[in-house]
Each structure stands twice: as C-alpha cells, then as structure tokens.
Amino acid sequence: MEVNGSSSYPSTRLLIADDHRVVAQGVERLLLECFEHVEVVQSGEAIIDCVLAERTDLVIADISMQGISGIEAMRRVRQLGYDTPFIFLTMHGDCRVAAEAIRSGASGYLLKSSAGEELVRAIREVQSGRSYVTPTLAGPTIFASEQTVDCNLTEKQQRILDYVAQGLRSKQIAYELGISVRTVESHKYAIMQQLGVHGTVELVRKAEQLGLLPGSPRQRSAA
C-alpha cells in the first residue's frame, strides 16, 4: 500500500510501543506494507532503551502502558537530549490528554479507531517536519494547549491535582499513590507556585479555568 507518497520514507526505522500484543502486531503488519524497518516493544522503558541504542527514527506509542506511560517515556527521552519524533496512537479521545501530549513534545496524535491509512499519513507529515492531530480532535486540542501552555505538570503532579480536586486530603493522596505525605505536599506546593495561587480552593478553581481538570467549563466548550 502506498499512501500519499509514504514510500518516500521506506528506510525509516519505526518503533511501535503498545502493551496489547494483538494491537501492536496489527499496526506492525500495516506499516510493513510501507516501511522496511518496524520494531515492536511493550513498555515505556523499552522505548527509552531503543532510543538510547539509536535503533529508531520515529516512535509510535500508546499512552497507557504497564510501567511508565508513553508520554512519560517521551519526556525522559527529551531530558536525555534526544529529539526523536513521537506519534501517539491511543484510545484516549479526551482533548486534554491530547493537549498534554502535544505540550510535552509529541509530533502526532491520533486514535486507534481511525488508524490505518491515517497513521501512514501522520508518519509522512511528521517525517516532513510537520505535526499531525486527528481531525476530530485538532480544534479542541489546540484550544486546550493554548489554555495550558504554561502549566507543564509532570504525570505525578497531574494525578495529585486530580485527587485534590476530588476533595482528597494529602494523607489520602499519599496512600493512593504510595508516597509520603511530605512528597504530596511538596508537589502540591510546586503546582500552586506554577499556577500562582495560595490555597487549595483557589488551586482547584484556577486548574478548572485552565482546562487542567476533566469536565471544566473550558473543556466542555472545547469539546
């Protein structure tokens, strides 16, 4: 199968990361029709190993995997000084998740339900130096990215913020995450500093205004 000039990049080394073996194998079969080099791994840690070993030119990753997430793997790769492009192929249709991926450095984001020729097209766009977001999410994702551009929370900080918004106290959050109360308070303080607020109520209100919480007004208007 040749899609919109995708054969221009047959030697591109692609890495598929998905902990659902059947899904990964299906994507692998699709891409082998257009590309010569396709490797499959099943964890975020394996993504990092492959990038460090310089075995891949472009990563196609799920977000939710055992161990670290695809987004966290990309962040660590960036911290290590690698600019390997990432395309996220996921079931997450929430524009907030897509916006987080783009803010963190992803070049592409599309849904598994719309994969196929669209995935090949996304790879072609990214290899040409452009970005690609599946059309049904493009507008809301751009909106959410703009609203949260200065709120680059880590994965753990986002989880703590979500728990705070649910009304959990620091001791409860520490239990849920398996960390100390002091660590929770430290992350909570860092989030408040980043958002420029000084209390829990103000923190939740500001996070909702910025679209950092599911169901916020801006999230609903962007959907």
Mean pLDDT, the chain, whole residue set: 83
Answer yes or no: are the C-beta atoms of 216 and 148 closer than 8 Å: no
Answer yes or no: are the C-beta atoms of 9 and 128 closer than 8 Å: no
| Close Cβ partners of 132 (under 8 Å, ≥ 6 residues apart) | 87, 107, 108, 109, 110, 121, 122, 125, 126
Answer yes or no: are the C-beta atoms of 16 and 24 closer than 8 Å: yes
Q: Which residues pair with 58 in a beta bridge?
A: 14
Radius of gyration of the chain from its Cα atoms, rounded to whole angstroms: 18
Mean pLDDT of 95-103: 80
Cα dist from 220 to 10, 11, 37, 215, 216, whole Å: 41, 42, 41, 6, 6
Task: Give residue 217's pLDDT band: very low, low, confident or very high (50, 70, 90).
Answer: very low
Q: Which residue has the higher pLDDT, 1 or 155?
A: 155
For residue 8, the model assigns a pLDDT of: 53
Q: Is the pLDDT of residue 13 over 90?
A: yes
DSSP state string for 38-90? EEEE-SHHHHHHHHHTT--SEEEE-SS-SSS-HHHHHHHHHHTT----EEEEE
| Close Cβ partners of 84 (under 8 Å, ≥ 6 residues apart) | 51, 56, 57, 58, 59, 77
Mean pLDDT of 62-90: 91
What domains can you pick out in the chain, each with its CATH number? 6-145 (3.40.50.2300), 155-222 (1.10.10.10)
Please give the DSSP secondary-structure letter assigned to residue 112. G
Q: Is the pLDDT of residue 220 over 60?
A: no
| Close Cβ partners of 51 (under 8 Å, ≥ 6 residues apart) | 15, 59, 77, 80, 82, 84
Mean pLDDT of 102-118: 86
Q: Is the pLDDT of residue 122 over 90?
A: yes
